[in-house]
Amino acid sequence: MHQTRDQSLASPTEHDLPAVSPLPLMQLSIGFWSFKALAAAYELDVFARLSGTDGRTVDGLAELLGLDQRPVELLVTACASVGLLERREGRYVNSALAEEFLVPDKAHHFGGWVQMLDRRLYPAWSRLTEAVRTNRPTSWNPDEQAHLFDSEDPQLLALFWEAMHSLSTLTARELGSHVDLSASTALLDVGGGSGAFDIELARRYPNLRATVFDLPPVCEIASTKIAAAGCEDRIAVSPGDFLADPELPAGHDVVLLSMIMHDWTPEQDLTILGKCFAALPPGGRIVISELLVNDEKTGPPAAALMSLNMLVETEGRNYTAAEYEQWLHATGFVDVETVTFEAPGANGAVLARKP
Number of domains in the chain: 2
Query: Are residues 91 and 184 part of one domain?
Result: no
Show which of 42, 72, 101 is a domain's final residue: 101
Of 2, 15, 262, 329, the catalytic one is 262
209 and 74, same structural domain? no
In a domain, 72, yes or no: yes
Give the CATH number of the domain where residue 331 resides.
Answer: 3.40.50.150
Contact call for residues 286 and 328 (beta carbons, < 8 A): yes
pLDDT at 221: 92
Give pLDDT, residue 287: 98
Domain end position, chosen among 77, 101, 125: 101
Residue 350 · residue 325 · CB < 8 Å = yes
Residue 236 per-residue DSSP state: E
147 assigned to some structural domain: no
State which residues form the domain around 89: 31-101
- Helix 196-204 to helix 154-178 angle (10° resolution) is 30
| pTM of the predicted protein model | 0.89
Residue partners of 88: CB distance under 8 A and separation at least 6: 55
Domain shared by 95 and 180, yes or no: no
For residues 95 and 183, membership in a common domain is answered with no
- The answer to whether residue 73 sits within a structural domain is yes
Residue 126 maps to a domain: no
Q: What is the DSSP letter of 317?
A: -
- The residues of the chain scoring below 70 in pLDDT are 1-15, 146-153, 156
Local structure of 69: helix, strand or coil: helix
At 36, which helix (H) or strand (E)? helix 31-43
252 is catalytic: no
Same domain? 311 vs 181: yes
Q: Per the domain annotation, does 51 fall within a domain?
A: yes
